[in-house]
Amino acid sequence: MSHTNSYESPFCTRYASPEMQYLFSADKKFTTWRRLWVALARAEHQLGLPVTQAQVDQLEANVENIDYDVAREREKVCRHDVMSHVYAYGVACPEAKGIIHLGATSCYVGDNTDVIIMRDALQVVRRKLINVIGNLARFADSYKAMPALAYTHLQPAQLTTVGKRATLWINELLMDLEEIDHRIASLKLLGSKGTTGTQASFMELFEGDSSKVKQLEQMIAEEMGFDAVVPVSGQTYSRKVDAQVLAALGGVAQSASKFANDMRILQSFKEMEEPFEKGQIGSSAMAYKRNPMRCERITALARYVMIDTLNPAFTAGTQWFERTLDDSANKRISVAEGFLGVDAILNIMMNVTDGLVVYPKIVRRRVMQELPFMATENIMMDAVKKGGDRQALHERIREYSMIAGKHVKEDGLENDLCELILADEMFMISREEMDKIMQPEQFTGRSQEQVTEFLQEFVQPVLDANQDILNETAELSV
């Protein structure tokens, strides 16, 4: 622990990956500021302003040569973070100090950097999301035919398969991936819009030449890896962009929370478990316990991220005219922590989905405990085919179901509904016929086919298109 006497964010010490932490670090932020100043100077030089190639070269050579002490001391005097870094960059580049930030306002570096960081962070989220989908796809395919109890209202319902349930998790993650891809494709730089978005300062520099002002923006965008800049703005890009990006992250959190909650319940049923390491301790008091702590952590972090999406929403709704500064303090916390939170969630999900444990005998036993109730319609239909009265049979099944239910719930006995039916001549059924009906595989509908079709038609194309980023693993601090 590096700071034992002051607060450190658990996102940094416990949850988020070094990769995502770097994207929201001072080094990433301020080197990106400098890359933007280089792009601005280069474009201004090429468009004929009094900026020399030597000045551009000096700026470029010192992008990573940041003296934070110089910037810190300067900010104590000027009380302005951008101007303190303009000053520090000028100290490192004395021949170029007079042209740094020429024509720009603070949001030129601040907002453009925020967009660049969100783009890079969304790419990390995308990569990890696809790896989770890949893990779950393999799992779904492996267990596509294994009958399992399905639940509505958390009460046993018709059967599904273990693999079919996994496709429900995958489907929501694919929805999130679609939204993440849309956000990445939609991101645009602010560009060089000036103090109120009118580009007045650049019109002054270029003596009223609108074509050069527009060309300047396009050159900067291309150098920073973007196709376009926002068409109009005040001083800042619309804060709805932050709200939309965080909404996409919130969607990932929702899907992750649903998965984690399902897993926690299944682990309580002893049907499935998250990975449990050889030396892992489940409880400080109860040595036998195997708590679903990874999925509990997903639930906890997902709750945080889902609530965090409100921050940029309120910020977007309370910007006045061309800009106010009540966005800054909230924005730098909420956006960063939204990404750090989802990064942590996906790290855990990669770990969990890569080592899911299924207990087939428990799954089968739980199915067989409920299957007699589900098989009654088939039993009744067979009896009708043999000449039975459908209404009388239905009433008798209702009566026996109540008796069997009482035996299970009140007396703690096994479900004896099949035995009650076998003993009643009204149903005209032999034990061999009963055994044939009582095969769980007959009650899963198209589950197995649905899994195969879904994986082939919707999942595999995504995995095939992203082969270069698959098979990633995640180390957890647990």
Mean pLDDT of 39-59: 97
Indicate which CATH number applies to the domain containing 223: 1.20.200.10
Q: Assess whether 337 and 388 both reside in one domain.
A: no
Q: Which of 308, 327, 358 is the last residue of a domain?
A: 358
Model confidence band, residue 283 (pLDDT cutoffs 50, 70, 90): very low
Q: Assess whether 49 and 134 both reside in one domain.
A: no
Q: Which of 291, 323, 358 is the last residue of a domain?
A: 358
As a whole number of angstroms, the distance between CA 140 and CA 137 comes to: 5
Q: Assess whether 299 and 162 both reside in one domain.
A: yes
Mean pLDDT of 145-173: 96
Indicate which CATH number applies to the domain containing 39: 1.10.275.10
Give the tokens for residue 371.
Answer: 């299957």
As a whole number of angstroms, the distance between CA 173 and CA 339 comes to: 16
The DSSP H or E segment spanning 465 is: helix 460-465
Q: Is residue 474 predicted with pLDDT exceeding 90?
A: no
Q: Assess whether 132 and 271 both reside in one domain.
A: yes
Mean pLDDT of 304-324: 95
Q: Assess whether 268 and 385 both reside in one domain.
A: no
**Number of domains forming the structure of the chain:** 3
For residue 452, tell me if it sits in a domain: no
Highest-pLDDT range among 57-61, 75-79, 385-389: 57-61
Indicate which CATH number applies to the domain containing 371: 1.10.40.30
105: Cβ contacts below 8 Å, ≥ 6 apart? 194, 195, 201, 235
For residue 450, tell me if it sits in a domain: no
Mean pLDDT of 51-63: 97
Domain, as residue range, for 354 = 106-358
As a whole number of angstroms, the distance between CA 135 and CA 126 comes to: 14
The DSSP H or E segment spanning 357 is: strand 357-358
Q: Which of 330, 358, 386 is the last residue of a domain?
A: 358
Q: Assess whether 189 and 323 both reside in one domain.
A: yes
The pLDDT mean for the chain works out to 93
As a whole number of angstroms, the distance between CA 171 and CA 148 comes to: 19
For residue 58, tell me if it sits in a domain: yes
For residue 312, tell me if it sits in a domain: yes
Residues making up the chain, counted from first to last: 478
pLDDT computed for residue 1 by the predictor: 54
pLDDT computed for residue 374 by the predictor: 83
Q: Assess whether 282 and 209 both reside in one domain.
A: yes
As a whole number of angstroms, the distance between CA 433 and CA 50 comes to: 94
Catalytic residues, by residue number, are 153, 283
Q: Assess whether 185 and 330 both reside in one domain.
A: yes
pLDDT computed for residue 285 by the predictor: 46
Model confidence band, residue 439 (pLDDT cutoffs 50, 70, 90): very high
pLDDT computed for residue 477 by the predictor: 62
- Please write the tens of the pLDDT for every residue from 208-234: 999 999 999 999 999 999 999 999 999
Q: Assess whether 78 and 195 both reside in one domain.
A: no
For residue 457, tell me if it sits in a domain: no
Residue with the bigger pLDDT between 157 and 118: it is 118
CB 143 within 8 A of CB 358: yes
Q: Is residue 206 predicted with pLDDT exceeding 50?
A: yes
Q: Assess whether 252 and 306 both reside in one domain.
A: yes
For residue 7, tell me if it sits in a domain: no
- Please write the tens of the pLDDT for every residue from 329-350: 999 999 999 999 999 999 999 9
Q: Assess whether 110 and 250 both reside in one domain.
A: yes
Q: Assess whether 80 and 168 both reside in one domain.
A: no
For residue 33, tell me if it sits in a domain: yes
As a whole number of angstroms, the distance between CA 141 and CA 148 comes to: 15
For residue 3, tell me if it sits in a domain: no
